[in-house]
Amino acid sequence: MKPNLLLVSRFPDAFCERLREHFDCHEYAQLDADRMAALAPKLRGIVASGESIVTRDLIARLPALGIISVLGVGYDGIDLEAARDHNVCVTHTPGLSTDDIADFAMALLLSAARQVVSADRFVRRGDWAVGRYPLTRSVFGGRIGIVGLGRIGRAVAKRALAFGMSIAYTGRTQKADVAYRWYNDARTLAANVDFLVVCASASAATRALINGAVLDALGPSGVLVNIARGAIVDEEALVQALCERKILAAGLDVFSNEPRIPDALLALENVVLTPHMASITGATLQAMLDLTFDNLAAHFAGQPVLSPVA
């Protein structure tokens, strides 16, 4: 018999068809309470996305559960402690989207600092026939601060070098293998850079790490970019900083309550907003889908999974 899987997010049709060739798949959103109760003892795997929420309660209700395979790098919505308590393996798809995310971070930085989106609107409105677009901020040779010098943070730093930037960072510990300047807190880092790029993992320690004090330190010519997780930035403080021009601009791919974005943020001209798309290109998505499937296949074949969560 095919193992039973619970799909807790929406996935591309072709991927679902591939899963159904090997597994009996059930979409969580389509199950009523009675059907879920009947299936619970049979469900041996969960397929989730990086935005999925898998709670302790759900894990505890599935006595046969052996694996949660996450399509994505982030897994902060998965209760890892509960998974460990119930001997459930959690996998994800790290590394595959690193370059895409780092590319996108630089795209947001350039778009926000050089006001690309606003300038596009300026041209489309016909305003260029009336006068020149206002001056924008230089990027090349600036000072970039990276919050979280992990795999993605290092890829951003590599790109920043090509822009002649000086690089500084903050994180849990100083890295012995890089020569970049290290600061032990985000506020001090922000006070010493022009561009602050958030690459950290979401956790209790990083929740609202980029707060009003950090934004004040970044200053009126500073630019914030967030391609990590929305919860790392205090969204209310950011709206206030943008409204009051305490910082120059921001480029955001992630938000606190996706896909809902505060009206106050939507109304601002000095922020570039994108729909959590930094990690997703066609080629990368296919590679992530393949690894998500391969992790499931390895687990049910009794083999080591390819990319377990540490």
Q: Between 13-22 and 282-300, two packed helices, what is the crossing angle to 10 degrees?
A: 10
* Rounded Cα distance, 298 and 308, in Å: 11
CATH number attached to the domain at 98-273: 3.40.50.720
Indicate whether 310 pLDDT > 80: no
* Rounded Cα distance, 303 and 310, in Å: 17
Structure tokens at 257: 């309550």
pLDDT tens digits, 101-154 = 999 999 999 999 999 999 999 999 999 999 999 999 999 999 999 999 999 999
Indicate whether 50 pLDDT > 90: no
pLDDT confidence bin for 272, thresholds 50/70/90: very high
pTM of the predicted structure, to 2 decimals: 0.85
Per the residue annotation, which of 17, 244, 258, 269 is the catalytic one?
258
pLDDT tens digits, 92-111 = 998 899 999 999 999 999 99
The dihedral region occupied by 265, where left means phi > 0, alpha psi between -120 and 50, and beta the remainder, is alpha
26 in active site: no
Query: Does residue 302 contact residue 67 with C-beta atoms inside 8 Å?
Result: no
**Helices and strands, counts by H and E, the chain:** 12, 12
Give alpha helix (H) positions in 23-130.
Answer: 33-39, 56-60, 80-85, 98-113, 116-124
User: What ranges do the domains of the chain cover?
Assistant: 4-92+283-300, 98-273
* Rounded Cα distance, 162 and 153, in Å: 15
86 in active site: no
Which residues pair with residue 146 across a beta bridge? 169, 197
Percentage of the chain lying above the pLDDT 70 cut: 100
pLDDT confidence bin for 280, thresholds 50/70/90: confident
pLDDT tens digits, 235-248 = 999 999 999 999 99
pLDDT attached to residue 13: 96
Fold match, 4-92+283-300 / 98-273: yes
The single-letter code of the amino acid at 132 is R
* Rounded Cα distance, 112 and 171, in Å: 24
Query: Does residue 73 contact residue 94 with C-beta atoms inside 8 Å?
Result: yes
Mean pLDDT of 257-264: 93
35 in active site: no
pLDDT attached to residue 18: 98
Of 224, 289, 217, 305, residue with least CA distance to 10: 289
Mean pLDDT of 75-83: 94
Per the residue annotation, which of 44, 92, 229, 299 is the catalytic one?
229
* Rounded Cα distance, 80 and 43, in Å: 18
CATH number attached to the domain at 4-92+283-300: 3.40.50.720
